[in-house]
Chains A and B, each alone.
Chain A
Amino acid sequence: MYVSPIREPLVTGKKTYKKITDEISAPIEGKPGKAWYAGITLTVSALLLGLAMMGYTIWEGIGTWGLNKTIGWGWGITNFVWWVGIGHAGTFISAILLLFRQKWRTSINRSAEAMTLFAVMCAGLFPLIHMGRPLLGFFVFPYPNTRELWVNFNSPLLWDVFAISTYFTVSLLFWYVGLIPDIGTIRDRMKSKFKKWIYGLLSFGWTGSAKHWQRHESISLILAGLAAPLVLSVHSIVSTDFATSVIPGWHTTIFPPYFVAGAIFSGFAMVLTLLIITRKVLHLENYITVGHIESMNKIIIATGSIVGIAYITELFIAWYSGVEYEQYAFLNRATGPYWWAYWIMMTCNVISPQLLWFKKLRRNLVFTFILSIFINIGMWFERFVIIVTSLHRDYLPSSWSMYEPTMVEVGIFIGTLGLFFTCFLLFIRVFPVIAIAEVKSVLKSSGDQKDKSETKEKH
Chain B
Amino acid sequence: MRRYISAYFEDEENLLRATKDLRDKQLSIQDVLTPFPIHGLDPILGFKRSRIPTIGFIGGAIGCIIAFGFQAWAFVVDYPLFIGGKPHFAIPSFIPITFELTVLFAAFAMVFAFLIRSKLGPGANNPIHDERITDDRFMIIVDLDEAGNQDELVKEILLKEEAQEIKVKEIDK
A-side contacts of B121, CB under 8 Å: 204-205
A161's nearest neighbour on chain B, judged by CB, is B97
- The smallest C-beta distance from A57 to any residue of chain B, in angstroms, reads 29
A-side contacts of B99, CB under 8 Å: 229, 233
- The smallest C-beta distance from B18 to any residue of chain A, in angstroms, reads 13
Q: Which of B20-28, B130-138, B146-154 contacts A (4 or more CB under 8 A)?
A: B130-138
Inter-chain contact count A-B, CB under 8 Å? Answer: 183
Q: Please, how many angstroms separate the alpha-carbon atoms of A202 and B123 in the complex?
A: 8
By the criterion CB–CB under 8 Å, are A18 and B126 in contact? no
By the criterion CB–CB under 8 Å, are A457 and B33 in contact? no
- The smallest C-beta distance from B115 to any residue of chain A, in angstroms, reads 7
Interface string of B89-121 (1 = CB under 8 A from A): 010011011011101101110110011011111
By the criterion CB–CB under 8 Å, are B71 and A219 in contact? no
Judge whether A364 is part of the interface by a CB distance below 8 angstroms.
no
Q: Which of B10, B35, B47, B135 contacts A211 (CB 8 A)?
A: B47
Judge whether B170 is part of the interface by a CB distance below 8 angstroms.
no
Q: Please, how many angstroms separate the alpha-carbon atoms of A218 and B93 in the complex?
A: 33
Judge whether A377 is part of the interface by a CB distance below 8 angstroms.
no
Q: Please, how many angstroms separate the alpha-carbon atoms of A162 and B165 in the complex?
A: 54
Q: Please, how many angstroms separate the alpha-carbon atoms of A457 and B11 in the complex?
A: 9
Q: Which of A166, A437, A457 contacts B101 (CB 8 A)?
A: A166
Q: Please, how many angstroms separate the alpha-carbon atoms of A398 and B124 in the complex?
A: 67
Q: Which of B33, B45, B108 contacts A173 (CB 8 A)?
A: B108
By the criterion CB–CB under 8 Å, are A142 and B70 in contact? yes
Instruction: Give the most central of A154, A189, A216: most B CB within 10 Å.
Output: A154
By the criterion CB–CB under 8 Å, are A457 and B136 in contact? yes
Mostly, the A contact residues are: helix
A167's nearest neighbour on chain B, judged by CB, is B100
Judge whether B53 is part of the interface by a CB distance below 8 angstroms.
yes
By the criterion CB–CB under 8 Å, are A210 and B122 in contact? no
Judge whether A222 is part of the interface by a CB distance below 8 angstroms.
yes
By the criterion CB–CB under 8 Å, are B131 and A441 in contact? no
Q: Please, how many angstroms separate the alpha-carbon atoms of A210 and B139 in the complex?
A: 10
| Chain B interface residue count, Cβ-Cβ cutoff 8 angstroms | 65
B162's nearest neighbour on chain A, judged by CB, is A456
A21-B136, A153-B94, A222-B110 as given contacts; A216 in contact with B37, CB under 8 Å: yes
The A202-222 residues at the B interface (CB cut-off 8 A) are 202, 204-219, 222
Judge whether B5 is part of the interface by a CB distance below 8 angstroms.
no
Q: Which of A158, A180, A226 contacts B97 (CB 8 A)?
A: A158
By the criterion CB–CB under 8 Å, are A201 and B33 in contact? no
By the criterion CB–CB under 8 Å, are A441 and B96 in contact? no
A-side contacts of B123, CB under 8 Å: 201, 205
Judge whether B128 is part of the interface by a CB distance below 8 angstroms.
yes
Closest 5 CB pairs of A and B: A205-B124, A17-B136, A188-B131, A205-B126, A218-B50
Q: List 6 A-B contacts (CB under 8 A).
A: A17-B136, A153-B71, A187-B134, A210-B34, A237-B96, A440-B35
Apart from the given pairs A18-B136, A148-B79, A437-B35, 8 other A-B contacts in the complex at a CB distance below 8 Å: A153-B71, A173-B108, A201-B123, A207-B127, A210-B34, A210-B45, A216-B37, A217-B37
Binding site for A on B (CB under 8 A): 10-11, 31-39, 41-42, 45, 47, 50, 52-53, 56, 60, 70-71, 74-75, 78-79, 83-84, 86, 90, 93-94, 96-97, 99-101, 103-104, 106-108, 110-111, 114-115, 117-129, 131-136
Binding site for B on A (CB under 8 A): 16-18, 21, 142, 148-150, 152-154, 156, 158-159, 162-163, 166, 169-170, 173-174, 177, 180-181, 184-185, 187-189, 201-202, 204-219, 222-223, 226-227, 229-230, 233, 237, 240, 437-438, 440-441, 453, 455-457
